[in-house]
Amino acid sequence: MNNQANDSVLKFWDERASLGDLAGTNDFVLTGIEQSYLLDTIPRGSRVLDIGCGNGSSLIKLVDQKGCTGVGIDFSEEMVKLAKQASQSQGLGERVEWHRRGVPPVPNEWAQFDVAYSQRCLINLASAEQQKEAVLSVKDTLNSGGIYIMIECFMEGAEETNLLRRRLGLQAMDAPWHNLFFHLHEVKSWSTPSFYMEKVVHVSSTYHLLSRVVNAKLAADSGEALRYDSAINLLAAQLPQEIGEFGPVKACIWRKT
């Protein structure tokens, strides 16, 4: 990533740091779905590395609700500052550390972790080469048998959604200017005998189908503004999420042997 592009992305995230639950995305319902998946998947008491922790919301929930400990890293100083403040205000400061770090590679300067995860973080890197280096470097942060939960955006799911949107006369949705979506078939090919992709979970497929296709069409036909807190979106979040393979957000589960 050239310096000018990197500065633009950093400025973007610094400016979003103070938005609370909206810091990572305006779609707070999607954030909640992702966090629920992490809470359901990560074993109680795990030592966790949050790669691209943002304002710390996800890791703080894991520490508070699952008894986890861990480290959060982010390249935005503003995000790290707010994460520290939030954990200290909740009395969790001794169980979690926050550091300003960039990737790739993912730093391994702390003791190894049971679980690492990223949450739409590595899509901010400028090239597939950087993304591959970042993903494979996670291995060195994990204990033997540890897992990496790679919640990132993939072109295949985005295309599935856009296919239905076009059928209904809606415009295709492009990736944000600062994002480079992964290609799932390429990421699968990065597996090695000692660090491999175990499975793919379509972690918010139902939600994307109902919010980005059904609700979007109803809003377009009625002339109403789209709202993330619409009744359809809130209902969709309560359903099992692996209906189809819609939406760019997938959870790829990697395991270190």
What digits encode the pLDDT tens for the residues 144-154? 999 999 999 99
Query: By the 8 A CB rule, do 246 and 157 touch?
Result: yes
**In the predicted model, what is the mean pLDDT of the chain?**
92
Three-class SS state of 226: coil
Domains along the chain with CATH numbers: 3-155+177-204+247-256 (3.40.50.150)
Q: 50 is written with which tokens?
A: 């949050």
Q: Would you mind telling me the total number of residues written for the chain in this entry?
A: 257
**Cα distance between residue 177 and residue 170, in whole Å:** 20
Beta bridge partners of 150: 118, 252
Query: By the 8 A CB rule, do 149 and 43 touch?
Result: no
pLDDT classification of 162: cutoffs 50, 70, 90: very high
pTM, to two decimals: 0.90
pLDDT at residue 26, as a whole number: 83
Write the DSSP symbol of residue 241.
S
